[in-house]
Amino acid sequence: MPEMKDLFQSADWKKEKHVPVIECPGQVKKGEPFQIRISVGKEIPHPNTTEHHISWIDVYFLPEGEKFPCQVARFELCAHGASTQGPNTSTMFTIPEAVCVFKTEKKGTIAAGAYCNIHGLWQGSKDIVVA
């Protein structure tokens, strides 16, 4: 069986619709809250249909010098157009975007993972500096 780390795919988000894109300041103030926006399909929109959708987005932070990341947030995306009338008959479709706020006293790396029901696990990351 493959290692869990080998199941995550990564690519240039400008060319691949499945990569989680992390938008936040590159430098934050020590101990002050800051906002992170994660989106899937930023440059090339993800279809988000009953048959093909993003199910969840996880956000982690790995402080420099520490061995394990902390989970910051988990977002379940549940509306994919399905209804009792069949696939794509509902008017409800969740857009794969999420916002969270946290604070840290150490620089480190924000990592996001997303799950596409057809194309599997995808990851993105961004380093932040603490001033």
pLDDT at position 32 is 97
| Predicted pLDDT at 5 | 77
Of 100, 107, 119, 126, which is the active-site residue?
119
70 counts as catalytic: no
Catalytic residue list contains 116: yes
Annotation says 119 is catalytic? yes
pLDDT confidence of residue 121: 95
52 in active site: yes
Tell me which fold the domain 11-130 belongs to: Immunoglobulin-like (2.60.40)
pLDDT tens track of the chain, all 131 residues?
Answer: 788 777 787 777 777 789 999 999 999 999 999 999 999 998 888 989 999 999 999 999 999 999 999 999 999 999 999 999 999 999 899 999 999 999 999 999 999 999 999 999 999 999 999 99
Question: What residue ranges do the domains of the chain occupy?
Answer: 11-130
d(CA 80, CA 54) in angstroms, rounded, equals: 9
46 catalytic? Reply is: yes
